Amino acid sequence: MVRDAIFLADRYEVIEKIGSGGMADVYKGKDHKLNRLVAIKVLKKEFREDEEFVRKFKYEAQNAAGLLHPNVVNVYDVGEDRGLYFMVMELVDGITLKEYIGKKGKLSSREAINIAIQMLQGIGAAHQAHIVHRDIKPQNIIISRDGKVKVTDFGIAKMVSSHTVANTAMGSVHYSSPEQARGRYSDTKSDIYSFGITLYEMVTGKVPFDGETTLEVAMKHLKEPIVPPTHYSPYIYHSLEMVILKCTQKEPERRYPDTDEVIEDLKRSLIEPDGDFVFIPPLATSTSEVINLDDDDWDKTRSFDDDFVDELDDDELVEDEDTAPGFGKKRGKKKGGRGEEINSSMNKVVKVLMIVLAVIIGIIIIVVAGNAIGGCTGPGTTDSSGKVKVPDVVGKSEDDAISALNKRNLGYQVVERAESEEYDEGIVFKQGTEAGKKVKKNTRIKIWISSGKKGENVTVPDVVGKDEDTATQELADLGFETTVDYQNSDEVEEGKVISTSPAAGTEAEKGSTVTVVVSKGEESKYVTIPDVVGMNVNDATAALTAAGINQSDITTTFESSETVGKNEVISQTPGSGKAPEGTTVSITVSTGPKDVSVTIPTNIVGNSQSNATSILQGAGLNVNVVYANSEDEDAGKVVKVSPGQGSKVKPGATITITVGQGSGTQGGNTNQ
């Protein structure tokens, strides 16, 4: 359990918990070595106990730490302390792209492109460093307060290698590529697919594939065609839609080869919103490009290629009897020979074609005649003016409304999904063209879908004791917005819900905010460490014990100082401020300036004048010689030293030696 105010690696101070993910908890911290705020991601207990996962986590985090880019949340350090495996990252003041989309509903084409280009610059930098992110999703994109977009969570990215397969992927299934869902090799194009799904969500407010289980969602990525974004957001740029569709092709070879090409097309989309410059390569087994059609294009499709037929002249459609293979009396001289076989086969083909042609002509005659006499007036046909009546779809479910419009050869456009005064979620509450009005076939009718009744009350579920992610998801499924507060608790396990506001069982309006209170674990007891630098060591010790720090938790070391007086505190660790009880406080005390004195040697007295002078000068001292009467045996020898032998003096000090001259000799003095 990570507690506030602890230090990791004797460098990173944990300040407070700011979030929790699937595999790690995130804390706001401070790097005391570089004096900056950081984010500290600590692996959850269940992952810390998996040695193989820890090994991969450390290896991959070290790789990510080498990735420095303005559009990437940079990883500064990775380490382990007391069984806690942690990653130190850049702390970004902002919100996730998921939260941003939630607040705005959907983004405009221009804003989405601006965010997308910054995302791609960060992803591209990783790809150039041979790192595949493999978990690109709005939750892993952060938008800072100054508008900078940063890609985060490279902690589960894998270095590009032949072993990078999707069966080790932990990315969200809503954004996973088809090859990841199949358990196959995933490379940089998997990131481009996930980016495309994220861009889809930016402009529509929803993911293209959803379901009740992860398996169901994964199968949709594999099998179902993607619904064009204009189905939900008709006003986005056409060229932007084509970029999204190219990024999200199910076959990797049909996507963009790299992020640079995506950026190039996105920039061009800003200049040519309606441009048709995005090329989607055809399937490997196809001879033509696969094209995604919107509602306006369906009336332009035909059962055969009219343009191709129009280009042919009569000679190409009907061959000359004498030259066409299988026709004419000159072909197939032998009965039962090759020519007769061809002739027989061609006759069968001609008969079939004639029957089909007759049926088509018959249908055309019936339709034309019916329109001429007004006999074909069913709900799905046109009148004599070529128009159809618009059905009343208000009050119908979305699927029933679409079906009713399609039966009359009409398209549709969902303008908005919003709360309704009258209708439940999923019901059409407004249509743009009034029922009964005649419009041209293939006209798109605007419809508005209810997202639920205004003011509808929902019972707040009991999520106490559940983990944070489960609780917030359960509330979101019922239509609530959520905010999370963290509190200490001696009774509720860390990461589990303590309470909600409004409380469980309370009726609250759908769409309103429920505050979820999550446990930070037992509350640590703190003491406030005073600043004792500059104080006398005795006064410092007294101040620390008065603050509640045990004498046994105070350690003292001594060192010399040229600037701090003797017995005064030079420094302390940790510095002043709050710290958990039991924290050891170390103080360093001055012993004053270093001792640089010189000791007068003890072999001066009794030595000759010249020897004594040499010894003293060798010790860095000056010598003053005086002479005095002495016994004859002491003549020429030192009989006295001032200061005395063994005394300590400063370097360069003058030492006076007295030299004996024997009785009756006149004394004097000299400097040497």
- Catalytic residue annotation: 135
- Interstrand relation of 149-151 and 131-132 (parallel, antiparallel or unpaired): unpaired
Rg of the Cα trace of the chain?
A: 44
Count CB atoms within 10 A of the CB of residue 127.
21
Beta strand pairing call for 131-132 and 158-159: antiparallel
Inter-helix orientation angle 188-204/97-104, to 10°: 20
Question: What's the CA angle centered on 45, arms 39 and 47, to 5 degrees?
Answer: 85
Cβ distance 633 to 605 under 8 Å? Answer: no
Cβ atoms < 10 Å from Cβ of 402: 19
Q: At what angle do helices 238-247 and 188-204 cross, to 10 degrees?
A: 140
How do beta strands 598-599 and 7-8 pair?
unpaired
**CB-based burial, 572-598: b 16+ in 10 Å, e otherwise:** bebeeeebeeebebebbbbeeeeeeeb
What is the DSSP code string of 100-152?
Answer: HHHHHSS--HHHHHHHHHHHHHHHHHHHHTTEE----SGGGEEEETTS-EEE-
The tokens describing 209, both together, are 């594939």
Query: In 3D, which of 15, 26, 1, 19 has the Cα closest to residue 484?
Result: 19
Residue 441: strand, helix, or coil: coil
**Which of 543, 544, 572 minimizes the C-alpha distance to 557?**
572
Pairing of strands 84-90, 36-43: antiparallel
CA atoms within 13 A on the CB side of 109: 23
Say if CB 510 and CB 458 are below 8 A apart: yes
Residue 11 and residue 33 in contact, taking contact as beta carbons nearer than 8 Å = yes
Q: What is the dihedral angle through the alpha carbons of 527, 528, 533, 534, rounded to the nearest 10 degrees?
A: -110
Determine contact, residues 527/549, Cβ cutoff 8 Å: yes
Could you give the CA distance from residue 457 to residue 480 in angstroms, rounded to a whole number?
10
Spatial separation of the C-alpha atoms in residues 468 and 470, rounded to whole Å: 6
CB count within 10 Å of CB 408 equals 19
Running DSSP on this structure, what letter comes out for residue 433? S
Q: Considering only CA atoms, which of 27, 138, 49 is closest in space to residue 495?
A: 27
> 54-83 burial by CB neighbour count: b if 16+ within 10 A, else e?
eeebbebbebbbebebebbbbbbbbeeeee
- Is the bond preceding 281 in cis, omega lying within 30 degrees of 0? no
The two tokens of residue 53 are: 């996962």
